Amino acid sequence: MENRTEISSLGEFGLIEHLTRNSEIKNASTLLSVGDDAAVIDHFGRQTVLSTDLLIEGIHFDLSYTPLKHLGYKSVVVNLSDIYAMNATPTQVLLSIGFSNRFSVEALDEFYEGVYAACEAYGVDLIGGDTSSSQKGFIISVTAIGEVAPEKFVKRSGAQPNDLICVSGELGGAFLGLTLLEREKMVYQQTGVQPDLEGQATIVGRLLKPEARKDIVEFFAETDLLPTSMLDISDGLSSDIMHICNQSKTGCVLYEDKFPFNDDAKNFAYKLQLDPTACALSGGEDYELLFTISQNEYEKVKHNPSISVIGYITPENEGMHLITRGGNKHELLAQGWNHLKK
Amino acid sequence: MENRTEISSLGEFGLIEHLTRNSEIKNASTLLSVGDDAAVIDHFGRQTVLSTDLLIEGIHFDLSYTPLKHLGYKSVVVNLSDIYAMNATPTQVLLSIGFSNRFSVEALDEFYEGVYAACEAYGVDLIGGDTSSSQKGFIISVTAIGEVAPEKFVKRSGAQPNDLICVSGELGGAFLGLTLLEREKMVYQQTGVQPDLEGQATIVGRLLKPEARKDIVEFFAETDLLPTSMLDISDGLSSDIMHICNQSKTGCVLYEDKFPFNDDAKNFAYKLQLDPTACALSGGEDYELLFTISQNEYEKVKHNPSISVIGYITPENEGMHLITRGGNKHELLAQGWNHLKK
């Protein structure tokens, strides 16, 4: 009888590892392959960074509360975020879409308005793609291309013990935005009462129209700061710091009281009786940059209001921990958003 | 009231034109954008070629007669074909897949076996991608990256009056393979009789496991031949020569008696009472290269058994025509495979 292993038994990262385990590099130009935010290829000294994402209706977005224009904007931005997470500058995108016949030309126009708005905002060119019909739902595939000066790309695997762990912006907002919209959708479906999003523009915006941290990568260039490792937070802080630690073969300590929160987000969390820290650790899609720097570089970041130092890297055998406000030490768990794992 | 324009009223090429009409190039490195087999970006003299395809179950492939390994192979090859169609050499691919829970790890392994077989055969590296669950069916997005010597990339738009129109290999086979498999599927569904594919390995292979014409691009390099325009035949000869003529602002004359056919394919066409010429003109997925060369270069191709000269380019106002075996002149019609147009 044929073996059947459920994909959920591996999860997304396990699956990628499994499928690519026998992969061998054949081209000298392939500098960095599967397993980071983006791949890097060499062009006679200059380096090109490439990243791709597949977004599927019902899995990654819900059109009942996502305006198509926002979706177009976000589809591009989340890919650019992967390019920035390599310390590179995005230059071009390729975009493919598949759509069922419930979509009209006007609907696609709205989507593309968002796509072009993102291209404009980040100075990238849409250079190609594919359009297709689908039997069901809306499917989006984006590939982003960027460039980086030789040897300046930043992998996930370079963190060293005693490095400081830094994060840009604020955490947990996108998750709270999602929670709010899902709740309002349910209320609407059950009662017909229109959503009450009053005063929640921040967290809803964080989910529906995220931005990539172009400014942080520009700040690195201006201050001549090269992080030792970096990624963008798409699965939640907990999962994502684990990616850095696992690939760098280190441990870490995070301090709960250093986590940056937006006040609106925090208040909304309390209103829902949610712990903001849990939202930051487990909620995905913040698209903030999580990076490590040598302690010698602390002076460079300490006056930047967009950067918070939230912990430090330890040797691998010390494990991964969170120090709570109360001073307790907890082991970190990968609670992030992993849509393939049960 | 909101306007609703059906996408089918534009068709695939009309839709792409519509959606990208306001696109402006912002990066000097963007040499060639939307509208060809692939885009071209510049890296300080060296040129990178990029192409992407989205393949959706039920639209582009039918898993009831497509082995997953073949599907993996084909998904890569059809993208490499776009890179060769720019006169470039593919070096890397990015691959994203979405799949419902009816797929097991073993099924994905089979698919990836085909992917890696194609990477091996063409010397390219799989450097990244994305995996996702889907609510329904199997979704594949492939982006291929290649390189080309400065200014040696070949667009669709460079054909000149009096250029010779050439095609590699043989035509119509993939369409006949599809016809055969669709017929056998219907017979099986209605009667339970297992498919009779005896003696039809060639055309079935053409559909399920096509190859990209690496050899032809190598031949161009060896003989120092630079086509004036080129694309790979994915929609059918008729549609595809129209792409060249429309983008080059020319007309053309094709000679039916010069079309290259495989004997097995021809015999099978007669058996089904199909006209092999119609299969070549309207049947897609042959992945042969269709290109134009200056008449001065004829000596270079005339002894290559894999290249047939099938016509010539005319001024635009002379239109696009086919001269039949009987000597009649017919206007060419775009009858190719256009899955978005009704």
Segment A76-89 mean pLDDT: 95
Contacts of B340 in chain A (CB under 8 A): 131-133
- Cα torsion through A77, A79, A84, A89, rounded to 10: -90
Does the pLDDT at position B32 exceed 90? no
Under DSSP, is residue B148 helix (H, G, I), strand (E, B) or coil?
Answer: strand
Give the separation between CA A214 and CA A218, rounded to whole angstroms. Answer: 6
Q: Which of A60, A135, A145 sits opposite B59 (nearest CB)?
A: A135
Contacts of A137 in chain B (CB under 8 A): 135-136
Does the pLDDT at position B149 exceed 90? no
Structure tokens at A193: 């009462």
Segment B47-74 mean pLDDT: 93
Q: Which residue of A lies nearest to B143 if distances are taken between CA atoms?
A: A143
Q: Which residue of B lies nearest to A44 if distances are taken between CA atoms?
A: B46
Does the pLDDT at position B1 exceed 50? no
Here the ipTM equals 0.88
Contact map slice: B 145-164 vs A, CB within 8 A: 145, 147
Segment A137-165 mean pLDDT: 93
Give the minimum alpha-carbon distance from B171 to chain A in angstroms, rounded to a whole number.
24
Q: What is the pairing mode between strands A307-315 and A329-331?
A: unpaired
Give the separation between CA B24 and CA B38, rounded to whole angstroms. Answer: 17
**Cβ pair B59:A132 closer than 8 A:** yes
Say if A60 is an interface residue toward chain B (CB within 8 Å).
Answer: yes
Contacts of A27 in chain B (CB under 8 A): 91-92, 123-125
Contacts of A132 in chain B (CB under 8 A): 54-56, 59-60, 339-340
Does the pLDDT at position A279 exceed 50? yes
Higher-confidence residue: B334 or B222?
Answer: B222
Backbone φ and ψ of B152, nearest 5°: -100, 0
Q: Give the rounded percent of residues in chain B with a pLDDT score beyond 70.
A: 96
CA angle, B307 then B268 then B286, to 5°: 40
Backbone φ and ψ of A93, nearest 5°: -135, 150
**Cβ pair A26:B127 closer than 8 A:** no
Label residue A224 exposed, middle or buried (CB < 10 Å: 0-12, 13-18, 19+). exposed
**Cβ pair A96:B54 closer than 8 A:** yes
Segment B15-32 mean pLDDT: 77
Q: Which of B29, B60, B135 sits opposite A137 (nearest CB)?
A: B135
Which residue has tokens 């390599």?
Answer: A86
**Cβ pair B135:A30 closer than 8 A:** no
Does the pLDDT at position B144 exceed 80? yes
Predicted confidence band at A251 (pLDDT cuts at 50, 70, 90)?
very high
- Single pTM value for the model: 0.90
Does the pLDDT at position A316 exceed 70? yes
Average pLDDT over chain B reads: 89
Predicted confidence band at A115 (pLDDT cuts at 50, 70, 90)?
very high
Give, to the nearest 10 degrees, the angle between helix B173-191 and helix B263-271: 40
Residue-wise pLDDT for B69-109, tens only, equals 999 999 999 999 999 999 999 999 999 999 988 888 889 99
Say if A9 is an interface residue toward chain B (CB within 8 Å).
Answer: yes
Segment B128-133 mean pLDDT: 88
Q: Please give the pLDDT value at position B339.
A: 52
Say if A130 is an interface residue toward chain B (CB within 8 Å).
Answer: yes
- Of A172-181, A327-336, B119-128, B303-312, where does mean pLDDT reach its minimum? A327-336
Number of Cβ atoms within 10 Å of the Cβ of B298: 12
Domain boundaries B28-148, corresponding CATH code: 3.30.1330.10
Domain boundaries, chain B: 28-148, 164-331
Indicate the DSSP class of residue A101: T
Give the separation between CA A153 and CA A36, rounded to whole angstroms. Answer: 11
Give the separation between CA B30 and CA A178, rounded to whole angstroms. Answer: 37
**Cβ pair B4:A97 closer than 8 A:** no
Segment A134-143 mean pLDDT: 93
Average pLDDT over chain A reads: 89
Predicted confidence band at B288 (pLDDT cuts at 50, 70, 90)?
very high
Q: Which of B43, B98, B105 sits opposite A54 (nearest CB)?
A: B98
Q: Please give the pLDDT value at position B336.
A: 52
Contacts of B25 in chain A (CB under 8 A): 125
Q: Please give the pLDDT value at position A342.
A: 42
Is residue B261 within 8 A of residue B281, CB to CB? The reply is: no
Give the minimum alpha-carbon distance from B276 to chain A in angstroms, rounded to a whole number.
28
Higher-confidence residue: B38 or B246?
Answer: B246
Q: Please give the pLDDT value at position B335.
A: 64
Q: Please give the pLDDT value at position A330.
A: 92
Number of Cβ atoms within 10 Å of the Cβ of A255: 17
Does the pLDDT at position A22 exceed 80? no
Does the pLDDT at position A1 exceed 50? no
Beta bridge partners of A330: A322
Q: Please give the pLDDT value at position B37.
A: 78
Segment B297-310 mean pLDDT: 96
Residue type for A172, please?
G
Residue-wise pLDDT for A182-207, tens only, equals 888 888 888 887 777 777 888 888 88
Contacts of B97 in chain A (CB under 8 A): 54
**Cβ pair B127:A50 closer than 8 A:** yes
- Of A11-25, A85-99, A209-223, B87-101, where does mean pLDDT reach its minimum? A11-25
Give the separation between CA A106 and CA A104, rounded to whole angstroms. Answer: 5
- Of A32-36, A141-145, B78-82, B266-270, where does mean pLDDT reach its minimum? A32-36
Segment B283-293 mean pLDDT: 94
- The DSSP result for B82-102, as a single string, is HHHTTT-EEEEEEEEEEE-TT
Does the pLDDT at position A14 exceed 90? no
Predicted confidence band at A335 (pLDDT cuts at 50, 70, 90)?
low
Superfamily for the B164-331 domain? PurM-like C-terminal domain (3.90.650.10)
